[in-house]
Each structure stands twice: as structure tokens, then as C-alpha cells.
Structure 1
Amino acid sequence: MKVKIKKIIITFFTFIFMGFTILISISIITSRLNNEVPSILNHSVFMIVSSSMEPELSKGDIILINRIDPKDIKENDVITFVMKAGNSNIVNTHRVIKVNDDDTFTTRGDNAPSYIQETVFYKDYIGRYTGFKIPKVGLFIDFLFSNLNILFGLIILIAIIIIGFEIKNIINHYKENRTKNEN
């Protein structure tokens, strides 16, 4: 009886995880198609692409940001925002060194010289860093999903999912056989 309950619980959580993964995927795809930042429950995930925030945040770190009202931002908060770089927009993460009265922030990277500052308008603000990061994982993700490696990345992702399910099936089969042999 315990084995059956355990199997039901594992199956339940597997389906919950798969459902959550599908919802995240749909959110990301929909947001990308609409040129928006993907967000789930007012949180977004970004990769740090430069060393401007070292030592707190390093290139390749994955960070979680909370999409709070820009009026709630204070000095020393780390925020993520969109900034112009030539003809394109890039997402950047810096520390707020001053909250201005004209609906802007003055920001600077922790690793940047004091004279390099950015003025960020509220309209360009995305969210505040929560303090949660996964170090260096972004470097691996960036490699997998670069333009040249997107097909390779998708194949690896699908293979990992299939291998995971097969390992689960083998373990379940082994446990069932062991239970039968004990009885």
C-alpha cells in the first residue's frame, strides 16, 4: 500500500512540475513574440552579461527580479532596466546611487568607475533584484541557445527530459520487482 501511495505522490508532483514548465514556456514565448519581458507572478529572470556589478553579480549569473513599483525603489537597491546602446536596447542591472525627483534614477555598476553613471527613467525600469542568484548558469544557457547552437540546445533539452523519464521508469520497475520478490 505504501508503494502505491508513494507512486501516486511522485506522479502528482511530476505532473505539477511539467505543468509549471509548460506555463513558464508559454509565458516566455508569448512575451518574446510581443517584445515584452517574460514575467510570472511579478517576477522575471535575467542573465548578467557583463562584469559591471562584480563582486556581487558576475557575468553569467542568473538573477531573479521582482517587478515592484518604481516609486518604492531606494538608494542602494539593485535594479534591472532597459537602456539604449547604439540602435538597440539592452537589459542592464546596476545599483541605484540616487533617486531623483523627476521620475528617474541615477545608477552605477559596483565595478564601474564613479564617473560612469546611467540615468534611468521610470518607463525603462523593469524590476528590483531580489537577492536570489544562480552563479554562472547563464554562461551554459547562453552557449546552448546562441544562434548557432539553438538546435543543439533544443535537442539536449529534449534528451534530458526523455532521459529523466526513462530513469524514473527504470527506478519504478526496479522497485516493483524488488517488492514482488520480497512478497
Structure 2
Amino acid sequence: MKKTLKIISNMITIIVILNLIFMTLLVIYLKASKGEAQIFGYQLKTVFSGSMEPTFLTGSVIAIKQLKADERGTLKKGDVITFQTSKKLLVTHRIVGVTSKENNVQYETKGDHNKTADTDLVPSQNVVGQYSGFTIPYIGYILDFAQSKKGTSLLLIVSGILLLGFAIFTFFQVMRELEKKTKSIETNENTI
């Protein structure tokens, strides 16, 4: 029974420490990257609308491969791209048509869930990246919350509380062990 409790205690300790480290690193990384999180050369973007459902759901995180200037004009019909609109918004839609005039490539785009194509053509220089096929549903809500002031505060407070709880737990565990050793020494001295 003691061995099982010790194993469970160790597992909880490891989980708390890993959770603490993860939350702290997440907050630091998101603040340092200013929301432009990158992993292994792919940029992570949160999906805020349902225009591409069912390809990816609202609240999902998608990975896009950033494209170099010479790659932006080589995309084809069916590719999913992230581009900047004239209003400086980032949109991720599928290419449904490609037009080329005097080395100026433009893309007609459409959200998979939308009934009609987007009204404006996308110049190739406005393309930021191409969807890599990697999606994590709903995690975008967490990342978006973590980037807010309330989210950052909450994650840091929770991390602090977990750290304090872990310190108190460890303190009482050490005190219990010391008490056992002290009793054991006293018992041995009394029997001599």
C-alpha cells in the first residue's frame, strides 16, 4: 500500500511540475512571439471563423508554411493559402482559380463553407503561406486566451499556486519523513 501511494505521489508531482513548466513556457513564448508562434519552420494560426469548415473548425490551430517571394506565384487550384487582405486581415481560403497577366499572378479564393468565391482577387505578393495539412481542433481558443491580459495573468497565477502547493506538499512530506526517522532513532536509543 505504501509503495502504491508513493508511486501515485511521484506521478502527481511529475504532472504538477510538467504542467507548471508548460504553462510558464507557453506564456513566455506567446508574449515573446507576439502571437506569431512558429514550430519547426511552420507558423501557427488560429482559425476565427467557420468559412473553411469542415476542413478545419473554428477555434482550431493550423500550421502554415511561409512562402518565399518566388514560391508565391507557383500555387495551383485546390491549394489552401493564408493571405493578407486589403484591410490588413489574414484569411485562409482555398484557391479556386488562377489568373496570370504579364508575370502578375492572382488567385481567386473561396472558403470551403462559403457559397460564393471571395469578391477580390489575391495578388501573389499578398500570400503569406500555404496550409500544411496540420490542424489541432479547439486549441486556438486556449492560445488566444493565453495571449490576452486576463489569460496571461490567470496562467501565471495558476502556475504560482501550483508551485506553492507543490512546495507545501514537499515540505510536509519531508517533515513526515524526518518525524519517522526521529521516532526510529528514539526507539532504537530506548531499546539500548
Q: Same fold (TM over 0.5)?
A: yes
The CA distance in 2 between the partners of 1:81 and 1:134, in whole Å, is 20
Kept in 1, the 8 Å contact 2:27–2:155? The answer is no
Q: Which stretches in structure 1 are left out of the alignment for 5+ residues?
A: 1-10, 30-36
Shift in Å, 1:98: 2.5
After TM superposition, the score normalised by the length of structure 2 is: 0.61
The CA distance in 2 between the partners of 1:74 and 1:161, in whole Å, is 46
Summarize deviations over 1:15-72 as a string: whole Å, max 9, x none: 899678745642327xxxxxxx565553211111211111111222111111134245
Q: Taking structure 1 as reference, are residues 167 and 133 closer, same or farther at Cα in structure 2, changes over 3 Å only?
A: farther
Kept in 1, the 8 Å contact 2:24–2:159? The answer is no
The corresponding residue for 1:124 is: 126
Larger radius of gyration: 2
Q: Taking structure 1 as reference, are residues 52 and 44 closer, same or farther at Cα in structure 2, changes over 3 Å only?
A: same
The CA distance in 2 between the partners of 1:142 and 1:16, in whole Å, is 16
Alignment of 1:43 with 2:45, yes or no, is no
Summarize deviations over 1:93-151 as a string: whole Å, max 9, x none: 00112233222222111111135454211221111111222212333444565xxxx43
Identity %: 25
Q: Which stretches in structure 2 are left out of the alignment for 5+ residues?
A: 1-16, 181-192
The CA distance in 1 between the partners of 2:107 and 2:174, in whole Å, is 61
Structure number with higher relative contact order (C-alpha < 8 Å, ≥ 6 residues apart): 2
Alignment coverage as a number of residue pairs = 164
RMSD: 4.1
SS in 2 for 1:99: strand
Alignment of 1:112 with 2:118, yes or no, is no
The CA distance in 1 between the partners of 2:150 and 2:28, in whole Å, is 20
The corresponding residue for 1:152 is: 150
